[in-house]
Amino acid sequence: MATNRTFTMLKPDAIENGYLGKVLDMIVGAGFEIKAMKYTRLSEDEAKKFYEVHAERPFYGELVEYMTSGPIVAAILEKDNAVADFRALIGATDPAEAEEGTIRKSYAESKAKNAVHGSDSDENAAIEGEFHFNAAEIF
């Protein structure tokens, strides 16, 4: 059964380009409730661990460098069908392929600097949420 939570990060390009408020507004406007939120910067070790699944991909080094290049916002979001609905809200990995009205179409710079992360499964949503938040930080 699908759980009702997902995990997101507003990535360094979104913060750097001044889209923090606009992206949060789209998320809340789409019916997601914020259960946990943190403004932080990933260390190299944290970014490597978070993206471990991509360790063999040619862009892994670039991805880690980019994700540690500035502050991010990490959050746990709640809504029915959260994982799938949030993936639909953010759009395709490459903003050039993302549909109109999606966060990436509106605010991402490129396939690499694509403004926002969204968990791809309920299992990963739980793992990623626990990576960033302890129980006392989740409301």
Q: Does residue 105 bind ligand GDP (CB under 6 A)?
A: no
Q: Does residue 20 bind ligand GDP (CB under 6 A)?
A: no
Q: Binder to ligand GDP among 5, 35, 48, 117 (CB under 6 A)?
A: 117
117 included as an active-site residue: yes
Candidates 117, 125, 128, 129; catalytic one: 117
Distance from C-alpha of 36 to C-alpha of 10, rounded to nearest angstrom? 13
DSSP 20-33: HHHHHHHHHHTTPE
CA dihedral 71, 77, 82, 85 (to 10 degrees): -50
Is 38 or 57 the residue whose CB approaches ligand GDP more closely?
Answer: 57
Distance from C-alpha of 46 to C-alpha of 68, rounded to nearest angstrom? 9
Q: Does residue 93 bind ligand GDP (CB under 6 A)?
A: yes
Q: Which residues bind ligand GDP (CB under 6 A)?
A: 59, 62-63, 93, 111-112, 114, 117, 120
